[in-house]
Structure 1
Amino acid sequence: MELFFTGQVIEWRGPSPYYFVAVPDEQSADIREVAVTATYGWGVIPVEARIGGSVFTTSLFPRDGRYLLPLKTAVRKPQSLSAGDEVSVEMTIRL
């Protein structure tokens, strides 16, 4: 399943900061339809994503009926991304 969306980089403060892009409601609903076959536990969904020139694998986290796409430092730094930036995401659910 391939998805395309635009979202804002958000910072989640904790013991160390984490950065995410929230998957919009429409695409989150599409993901929920395949979640049972895609998840490998705890509701996380494995994906391959592209932001700009960075392609990476990670897992979506379920949160409040939507999903959060984690942004690793290895993705944020080359793209000069920080909290509040708007990004375009291409993403494939790894079934």
Structure 2
Amino acid sequence: MDLVFDGRVFEWRGPAPYYFVAVPDEPSADIREVATRASYGWGVIPVEARIGGTAFTTSLFPKDGAYLLPVKNAVRLPEGLRTGDEVRVEMTVQLGR
């Protein structure tokens, strides 16, 4: 399943700072429809994503009926992303794992 959406980078402070982009409501609803075929446990969903010129693999985290896309330093730093930056995300949900 291929999805494209825009979102803002935000920081979630915990034991270490983590950065995410929230998946909007409509794509989150589409993901929920295939979640049982995609999840490998704990509700996380494996994806391949691209922000700018940087492609990466990660897993979406479920949060309040939607999903969060982690944005690793390996993506943030080369793309020059900071908290509050608006990004376009191209993402493929990996089905059938």
**Shorter-chain TM-score: what band?**
over 0.9
| Deviation of the 1:46 alpha carbon | 0.1
| Deviation of the 1:14 alpha carbon | 0.6
Q: Which residue of 2 aligns with 1:37?
A: 37
* TM-score scaled by length of structure 1: 0.99
> Helix, strand or coil: the match of 2:81?
coil
Q: Runs in 1 of length 4+ with deviation above 2 angstroms?
A: none
- Give the aligned length: 95
Q: For structure 1, which runs of at least 5 residues remain unmatched after alignment? A: none
| Deviation of the 1:20 alpha carbon | 0.1
Q: Which residue of 2 aligns with 1:2?
A: 2
Using the aligned pairs only, state the percent identity: 75
Matched letter for residue 9 of structure 1: V
> Helix, strand or coil: the match of 1:83?
coil
| Deviation of the 1:41 alpha carbon | 0.2
Please give the per-residue CA displacement for 1:26-65, whole angstroms capped at 9, x wherever unaligned. 0000000000010000000000000000000000000011
Give, in whole Å, the separation in 1 of the partners of 2:33 and 2:69.
17
Q: Which residue of 2 aligns with 1:26?
A: 26
What RMSD, in angstroms, separates the aligned Cα atoms of the two structures?
0.3
Alignment of 1:1-95 (within 5 A): 1-95=1-95
Please give the per-residue CA displacement for 1:57-93, whole angstroms capped at 9, x wherever unaligned. 0000000111000000000000000110000000000
Give, in whole Å, the separation in 2 of the partners of 1:94 and 1:62.
15
Q: For structure 2, which runs of at least 5 residues remain unmatched after alignment? A: none
Give, in whole Å, the separation in 1 of the partners of 2:72 and 2:94.
18
